[in-house]
Amino acid sequence: MSTQKQKNFNSAVALLVGTAVGAGIFGLPYAIQQAGFGIGIIELLVLGGILLLVNLAYGEIILRTPQKKQLIGYAELYLGKPGKYASLLALFLGIYGALIAYTIEVGTFLHALLAKNIGGTPMMYSLSFFTVMAIILFLGIKVVTGVEKIMVMLIFIVVAGILLLGIPHIDMSNFMGAHPEKAFIPFGVILFALAAGAAIPTMREVLDRDAKKLKKAIFVGSLIPFLLYLGFTVIVLGVTGPDTTESAVLGLGKYLGEYILFSGAIFGILAMTTSFVSLAFVLSDSYQRDLGLKKNTAKVFVLVLPLMMVLLKAFTFIQIIGIGGAILGGTEGIIVLMIHKRAKRLGKRQPEYSIQWPRLVSIGLVSIFILGIIYQIGAFTGLL
Average pLDDT value over all residues in the chain: 88
**pLDDT for res 221:** 93
Residue 108 has pLDDT above 60, yes or no: yes
What superfamily does domain 3-381 belong to in CATH? Amino acid/polyamine transporter I (1.20.1740.10)
158/163 Cα distance (integer angstroms): 9
**For the whole model, what pTM was predicted?**
0.89
Residue 250 has pLDDT above 90, yes or no: no
**pLDDT for res 158:** 79
Every domain of the chain and the residues it spans: 3-381
349-368 residue pLDDT tens: 999 999 998 889 999 999 99
pLDDT band at 144 (very low <50, low <70, confident <90, very high): low
Residue 311: count of CB within 10 angstroms of its CB? 12
pLDDT band at 146 (very low <50, low <70, confident <90, very high): low
Residue 101 has pLDDT above 70, yes or no: yes
312/85 Cα distance (integer angstroms): 29
Q: Where would I find the H helices in 241-314?
A: 248-256, 258-291, 295-312
List of residues 6+ apart from 181 with CB closer than 8 A: none
CA 241, distance to chain mean position in Å, is 24
pLDDT band at 379 (very low <50, low <70, confident <90, very high): confident
Query: How many residues does the structure list for the chain?
Result: 384
Q: What angle do CA 59, 63, 68 make, to 5 degrees?
A: 95
Is the four-CA dihedral 371, 372, 377, 378 of positive or negative sign? positive
Range with lowest mean pLDDT among 23-27, 258-262, 358-362:
258-262
The candidate with the shortest Cα–Cα distance to 40, out of 183, 181, 172, 244, is 183
pLDDT band at 148 (very low <50, low <70, confident <90, very high): low
**pLDDT for res 292:** 83
**pLDDT for res 2:** 66
124/194 Cα distance (integer angstroms): 30
The candidate with the shortest Cα–Cα distance to 298, out of 113, 69, 188, 140, is 140
pLDDT band at 142 (very low <50, low <70, confident <90, very high): low
| Residue 89 one-letter amino acid | L
The candidate with the shortest Cα–Cα distance to 129, out of 103, 155, 149, is 103
